[in-house]
């Protein structure tokens, strides 16, 4: 047996209200809980990351200061003439295994001892002569007298530096007689100041406890740690809470691959199924990376407690909200249920029903229901009367179409009679007038093809030529391909009429009307221009102001007022354009006294589909 949930639209109003209440309560609670948990977790990670970044940066700075001091100490033998003279003496091959004098050993030991004074981080300092003899700050019983430095694993790196200082990773020097201690060192070649000839090598061995002192303020979380190594992945120091140095080294290698030599890098890394917050700091001076890593799970212990508390509080609030939602949904839907039962009775034709009216919104709904039932008979009657009036209006419209057909037939008869009597002028005028009237009275379309509109305009001009004779000339300049574009019906004829009446009609010499239609990008420009008497500045300003009022009349739904001297034609055109195209059209007037007038209509280009 399968269970199918009913669609939401078939639920009762009470169930929908209950669902809405529960969603309105549970969704914000869930979002707030998730947002609080995420924000708190991010805040913990961010604060820990910032604090750790500052800590490892300070450790690296302290290490740099120590190494700068060691680098300065390694330069001191290069500026001591006594040390250089002894090293020159024991540089030659024939001095191999030649013992320095007691005075020379004493002088070198005192000099080296002065370099280590008040520097507890230094274990010892060795100066190796070219012959292999070792001068040291230690007692002769603690260190070998001769050392073959060229066979030491760290020697190639010192030579490669060509006299610059080199930081050597922890190693066990062979020249110590005990040989059990591990040191990291600063070393450099000692060269002849003028010739750069190698005289020997100075090596400062530093205690491993230096790193312990530097990181003693770092709190190591469970499964967390700190690693110090260079960009060649040579390990200098590592410390972990659980002593797992191998995992610490792997994590350090990976962060170096991702961060490169950036000054500071902080990111979340996944390793062996765990997430770590890893903060690294790189010193360009010493080429040392200090990497601190903390398990994210350790950081989020407090956030898990917050998450559990939020879940518990949310469940309690949800249960309480559910109980309240059930109660209020019942109280809200009870009067609506009564209203539904009454409406069903009204649906069956019983208009005597009413519901109790309360003071709330549902009470207003009940009051409206009562008024609705009382007025149903009147509304039905009004609908019937309106239907009758609509049919009467349709009949009147059909009857009004009879008269234009009578006029068409009459004009056609006049045209045929004129042709029979060889009066072509009368025939042509009657035909043109018939076309003009037919175009004017057809009401089925507000937009027609430009070609049809041009035919109407030509018919009107033929009629006017019958009146004005050769005084009236017309020229058409229509861009090719625009005959099928759509324009408002009877757009050109009123403009041509205006040009003839007010621009040319009173002039003895007559004039010419120019009709130009061109396309510019997605717009069509229709221009009616005459070479008549033109417009004065005052007339032009008055016309433009009146056309602006025409646009306002459309917005205010007021009838057009006549423009003195130009009738209602121009204002009517402006209002028709605004009604059809809204703000996507333009109607401009231009002209000057004695230079004629121009009327330009700009319309969006639209072509009739075939």
Q: What's the whole-number mean pLDDT along residues 235-257?
A: 67
* CA atoms of 361 and 381, how far apart (whole Å): 30
Please determine, for residue 516, whether its predicted confidence score (pLDDT) is greater than 90.
yes
Angle, to 10 degrees, between the axis of helix 301-347 and the axis of helix 13-75? 160
pLDDT for 528: 92
Q: What's the whole-number mean pLDDT along residues 134-150?
A: 84
Higher pLDDT pick, 317 / 381 = 317
Residues with Cβ within 8 Å of 35's Cβ and at least 6 positions away in sequence, in order, are: none
* CA atoms of 182 and 204, how far apart (whole Å): 13
pLDDT for 602: 93
What are the CB-based long-range contacts (under 8 Å, 24+) for 35-44?
Answer: 36/306, 36/310, 37/303, 37/306, 37/307, 37/310, 40/303, 40/306, 41/300, 41/303, 44/299, 44/300, 44/302, 44/303
The 472-478 sheet, strands edge to edge: 472-478, 511-520, 523-530, 597-604, 586-591
- Write the DSSP assignment of 37-69 as a string of letters: HHHHHHHHHHHHHHHHHHHHHHHHHHHHHHHHH
* CA atoms of 592 and 595, how far apart (whole Å): 5
What are the CB-based long-range contacts (under 8 Å, 24+) for 604-610?
Answer: 604/522, 604/523, 604/524, 605/485, 605/519, 605/522, 605/523, 605/524, 606/447, 606/485, 606/486, 607/484, 607/485, 607/486, 608/449, 608/484, 608/485, 608/486, 610/484
Most confident of 28-32, 46-50, 286-290: 286-290
pLDDT for 234: 83
pLDDT for 280: 81
pLDDT category of residue 287 using cuts at 50, 70 and 90 = confident
Please determine, for residue 230, whether its predicted confidence score (pLDDT) is greater than 70.
yes
pLDDT tens-digit series, residues 569-603: 788 888 888 888 888 889 898 888 878 889 999 99
* CA atoms of 542 and 565, how far apart (whole Å): 11
Higher pLDDT pick, 438 / 320 = 320
Conformational region of residue 469, where left means phi above 0, alpha means psi within -120 to 50, and beta covers everything else: left
What is the distance between the terminal CA atoms of the chain, rounded to a whole angstrom?
60
| pTM exceeds 0.95, yes or no | no
Which DSSP category does 446 fall into? Answer: S
What is the pLDDT of the chain when averaged over all its residues?
Answer: 77
pLDDT for 529: 92
Residues with Cβ within 8 Å of 118's Cβ and at least 6 positions away in sequence, in order, are: none
pLDDT for 560: 44
Fold entry, domain 219-299: Profilin-like (3.40.1840)
pLDDT for 527: 94
* CA atoms of 429 and 464, how far apart (whole Å): 9
Most confident of 63-72, 368-377, 493-502: 63-72
How many residues does the structure list for the chain?
610
pLDDT tens-digit series, residues 158-182: 888 888 999 899 888 888 887 678 8
Task: Confirm if 434 and 453 have CB atoms less than 8 A apart.
Answer: no
Most confident of 60-64, 357-361, 438-442: 60-64
CATH of domain 464-604: 3.30.565.10
Give whole-number Cα distances, 91 to 85, 131, 199, in Å. 10, 5, 6
Higher pLDDT pick, 150 / 331 = 150
pLDDT for 397: 43
Assigned token pair, 426: 């009368």
Assigned token pair, 358: 């309360």
The 166-171 sheet, strands edge to edge: 134-136, 122-129, 198-206, 183-191, 166-171
* CA atoms of 536 and 542, how far apart (whole Å): 10
Task: Provide the percentage of residues in the chain whose pLDDT is more than 90.
Answer: 6
pLDDT for 186: 92
* CA atoms of 282 and 231, how far apart (whole Å): 9
pLDDT for 259: 53
Which helix (H) or strand (E) element contains residue 405? helix 402-420
Please tell me the least confidently modeled range out of 205-214, 218-227, 524-533: 218-227
* CA atoms of 258 and 260, how far apart (whole Å): 6
Assigned token pair, 535: 């417009």
Q: Looking at domain 80-210, what is its CATH homologous superfamily? A: PAS domain (3.30.450.20)
Please determine, for residue 524, whether its predicted confidence score (pLDDT) is greater than 90.
yes
What CA dihedral angle connects 418, 423, 427 and 428, to 10 degrees?
180
pLDDT tens-digit series, residues 406-448: 565 566 666 666 666 666 666 666 666 666 666 666 655 778 8
Please determine, for residue 275, whether its predicted confidence score (pLDDT) is greater than 50.
yes
Sign of CA pseudo-dihedral 9, 11, 12, 17: negative
Q: What's the whole-number mean pLDDT along residues 83-105?
A: 76
Give whole-number Cα distances, 481 to 450, 485, 529, 607, in Å. 10, 8, 22, 10
478 alpha-carbon distance from chain centroid:
48
Task: Confirm if 272 and 251 have CB atoms less than 8 A apart.
Answer: no
* CA atoms of 610 and 606, how far apart (whole Å): 13
Which helix (H) or strand (E) element contains residue 240? strand 235-240
pLDDT for 22: 78
């Amino acid at each position: 047996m399968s269970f199918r949930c009913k669609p939401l639209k078939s639920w009762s109003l009470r169930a929908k209200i209950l669902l809405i209440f529960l969603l309105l309560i549970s969704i914000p609670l869930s979002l707030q809980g998730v947002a609080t948990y995420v924000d708190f977790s991010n805040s913990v990670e961010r604060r820990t990351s910032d604090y750790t970044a500052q800590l490892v940066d300070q450790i690296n700075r302290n290490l740099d200061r120590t190494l700068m001091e060691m680098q300065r100490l390694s330069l001191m033998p290069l500026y001591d003439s006594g040390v250089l003279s002894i090293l020159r003496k024991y540089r030659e091959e024939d001095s191999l295994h030649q013992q320095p004098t007691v005075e020379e050993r004493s002088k070198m030991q005192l000099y080296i001892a002065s370099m280590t004074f008040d520097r507890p981080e230094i274990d010892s300092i060795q100066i190796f002569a070219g012959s292999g003899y070792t001068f040291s700050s230690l007692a002769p019983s603690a260190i070998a007298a001769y050392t073959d430095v060229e066979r030491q694993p760290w020697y190639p790196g010192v030579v490669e530096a060509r006299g610059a200082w080199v930081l050597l990773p922890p190693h066990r020097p062979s020249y110590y007689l005990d040989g059990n201690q591990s040191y990291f060192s600063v070393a450099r070649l000692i060269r002849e100041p003028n010739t750069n000839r190698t005289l020997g090598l100075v090596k400062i061995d530093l205690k491993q406890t230096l790193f312990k002192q530097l990181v003693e303020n770092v709190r190591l979380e469970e499964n967390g740690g700190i690693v110090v190594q260079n960009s060649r992945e040579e390990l200098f120091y590592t410390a972990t809470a659980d002593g797992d140095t191998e995992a610490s080294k792997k994590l350090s290698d990976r962060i170096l691959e991702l961060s490169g030599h950036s000054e500071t890098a902080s990111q979340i890394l996944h390793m062996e199924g765990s997430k770590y917050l890893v903060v690294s700091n790189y010193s360009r001076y010493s080429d040392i990376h200090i990497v601190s890593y903390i398990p994210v799970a350790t950081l989020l212990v407090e956030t898990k407690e917050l998450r559990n508390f939020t879940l518990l509080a949310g469940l309690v609030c949800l249960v309480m909200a559910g109980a309240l939602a059930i109660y209020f949904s019942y109280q809200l839907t009870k009067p609506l249920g009564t209203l539904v039962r009454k409406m069903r009775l009204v649906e069956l034709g019983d208009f005597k029903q009413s519901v109790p009216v309360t003071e709330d919104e549902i009470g207003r709904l009940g009051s409206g229901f009562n008024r609705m039932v009382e007025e149903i008979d009147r509304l039905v009657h009004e609908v019937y009367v309106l239907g009758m009036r609509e049919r009467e209006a349709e009949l009147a419209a059909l009857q009004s179409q009879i008269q234009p057909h009578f006029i068409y037939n009459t004009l056609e008869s006049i045209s045929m009679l004129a042709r029979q009597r060889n009066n072509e002028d009368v025939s042509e005028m009657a035909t043109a007038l018939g076309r003009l009237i037919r175009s004017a009275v057809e009401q089925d379309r507000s937009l027609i093809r430009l070609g049809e509109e041009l035919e109407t305009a030509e018919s009107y001009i033929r009629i006017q030529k019958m009146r004005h004779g050769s005084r009236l000339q017309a020229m058409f300049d229509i861009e090719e391909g625009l005959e099928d574009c759509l324009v408002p019906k009877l757009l050109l004829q009123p403009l041509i009429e205006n040009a003839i009446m007010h621009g040319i009609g009173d002039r003895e010499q007559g004039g010419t009307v120019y009709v130009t239609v061109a396309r510019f990008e997605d717009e069509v420009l229709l221009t009616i221009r005459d070479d008549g008497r033109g417009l004065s500045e005052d007339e032009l300003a008055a016309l433009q102001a009146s056309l602006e009022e025409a646009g306002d009349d459309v917005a205010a739904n007021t009838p057009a007022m006549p423009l003195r001297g130009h009738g209602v034609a121009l204002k009517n055109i402006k209002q028709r354009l605004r009604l059809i195209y809204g703000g996507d059209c333009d109607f401009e007037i231009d002209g000057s006294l004695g230079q004629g007038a121009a009327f330009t209509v700009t319309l969006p280009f639209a072509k009739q589909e075939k």
